[in-house]
Amino acid sequence: MKLGKRFMVRPHTHLKLDKFDPDDTAGFEKGDKAQAHLEKNIARMDNLQYRLYAESRRALLIVLQGMDASGKDGTVRHVMSGLNPQGCRVTSFKVPSAEEASHDFLWRIHQAVPPHGEIGIFNRSHYEDVLVVRVHQLVPKSVWSARYDEINAFETLLGENGVTILKFFLHISKQEQKERLEARLKDSTRNWKISPADLKERERWGDYVKAYEAVLSRCSTTAAPWFVIPSNKKWFRNLVVSQIIVETLERMNPKFPKPPFDISKLKVK
C-alpha cells in the first residue's frame, strides 16, 4: 500500500480537519508485524541516505508540524534513529531572536535548508509565521495572509534547486492532547516538557484548527505536498511517516557517483 498517496493533501483542496480520523491506522494493527515494518523502513532509509550523501546532488527536507504534544519530538526520536548524523540535521524553530526578527520571516529558514547530499528535519518551521502569528495576531492580517504565496514561492525555489520537501501534519484529537499533557504533569521525568503557556495555547484549539486548515489547503503543492498523519496512535504515526520517507527516497533513487578517474589504474602499495 502506498501510504503517501493515501494521506497526501491534493493541491487546491479545501480541507477540513474534522474529515480526517486521528485514530486511523489504514488497516494496520499494533504488534510485531507493524514494528517489523518500521524497522525495515528505518534500515531502508539508512541505505538510501548513504546513497543520497554519496551522490551529493540533491537534498531532502522533512517538515514536522502539529498541535502541542502531537509527537514531533517522538517522530524524530523513533523514525530518524537509523540516520547517520553526519548527513542529517534537525532544526527546532523557537521564538525568533532579535537578529532573526530584524530580517524577513524566511531568512532564518533559508539558512537551515539542508545542503545537497543531506537530510534536514524541521521541528516546527516557517509555517509558524501563518500559525502562531495568525492566532495571536502578532502582525496585521494583510502581512500574514500574504505569506502563504511567499511560502509557496520559497518552496518552489528550493524544489527547482534540488531540494525535495515532505511536510507532515501530525493530527491528534483534542482529547488525545489532554491525555498527553496530563501524562506530562504526572511524570516527574517529563515535567520539563510542559508549561503554563501550553495550557493557554490549548484554549485556542479552535483557532489553531482554522489556521492549520488554511495552511494545508493553500500550501500543499506538487513541489511540496502536505501529508495529514493520523497520530493518536504513536506506533502508526511512526510507521506511516517512515513509509512515506522511504517511498520518496526511492522515487529520488540517488546513485553512487562514478569516480572522475580510472579506478583500474589505481594500486594500493
88-92: strand order across its sheet: 88-92, 119-123, 59-66, 163-171, 226-230
Q: What pLDDT is recorded for position 12?
A: 87
What is the spatial distance between Cα 231 and Cα 214, in angstroms, rounded to a whole number? Answer: 20
**Whole-angstrom distance, CA of residue 261 vs CA of residue 73:** 44
pLDDT band per the 50, 70, 90 thresholds, residue 4: confident
Is residue 2 scored above 90 in pLDDT? no
pLDDT of residue 264: 87
pTM: 0.96
Which sequence spans correspond to the domains of the chain?
Answer: 3-10+29-252
Residues 237 and 168 sit within 8 Å (Cβ to Cβ): no
Fold of domain 3-10+29-252: Rossmann fold (3.40.50)
81-124 pLDDT per residue, tens: 889 999 999 999 999 999 999 999 999 999 999 999 999 999 99
pLDDT tens digits for 13-71?
999 999 999 999 999 999 999 999 999 999 999 999 999 999 999 999 999 999 999 99
Mean of all residue pLDDT scores within the chain = 96
The rounded distance, in Å, linking the Cα atoms of 41 and 80 is 10
**pLDDT score recorded for residue 133:** 97
